[in-house]
Amino acid sequence: AQSVAQPEDQVNVAEGNPLTVKCTYSVSGNPYLFWYVQYPNRGLQFLLKYITGDNLVKGSYGFEAEFNKSQTSFHLKKPSALVSDSALYFCAVRDSRDDKIIFGKGTRLHILP
């Protein structure tokens, strides 16, 4: 079955430091991978996606993600964290059998001033 795992419930990073939010996936076939962000009391917003091509994908708000096929990972990164990056981040995969988007359990990112 297609799935994504986010091993960290919460990540704390000091403002200005680089951040990484981890995601690993399990799919049959080629993976379609995504990151979404949810701010408090808001809906999810698309950040970036990997379908094919360069392993480093750039997205909104200065975020990027690195696709690593051998490690089946798709970690979200940003070189310099902002306090406003504090939010809930979801990794997701598209199930090629029925086109469902399956979300991970989310990782809460706290950027400390």
Partner 1 sequence: DTAVSQTPKYLVTQMGNDKSIKCEQNLGHDTMYWYKQDSKKFLKIMFSYNNKELIINETVPNRFSPKSPDKAHLNLHINSLELGDSAVYFCASSQDLTVWSGELFFGEGSRLTVL
CA 62 – CA 68 distance, rounded (Å): 20
Per CB under 8 A, the segment of 10-18, 19-27, 73-81, 99-107 that binds partner 1 is 99-107
At closest approach, how far in Å is the CB of 67 from partner 1?
14
| The residue type at 82 | L
Q: Give the chain's end-to-end CA distance (angstroms, integer).
A: 40
Closer residue to partner 1 in complex, CB, 69/105:
105
Does 5 bind partner 1 (CB under 8 A)? Our answer is no
Residue 3 has which token pair?
A: 């799935």
Distance of CA 46 to CAs 69, 77, 90, Å? 22, 15, 10
Minimum separation from the CB atom of position 16 to partner 1 (A): 27
Contacting residues toward partner 1, per CB under 8 A: 32, 34, 36, 38, 41-46, 49, 51, 88, 90, 92, 94, 98-103, 105-106
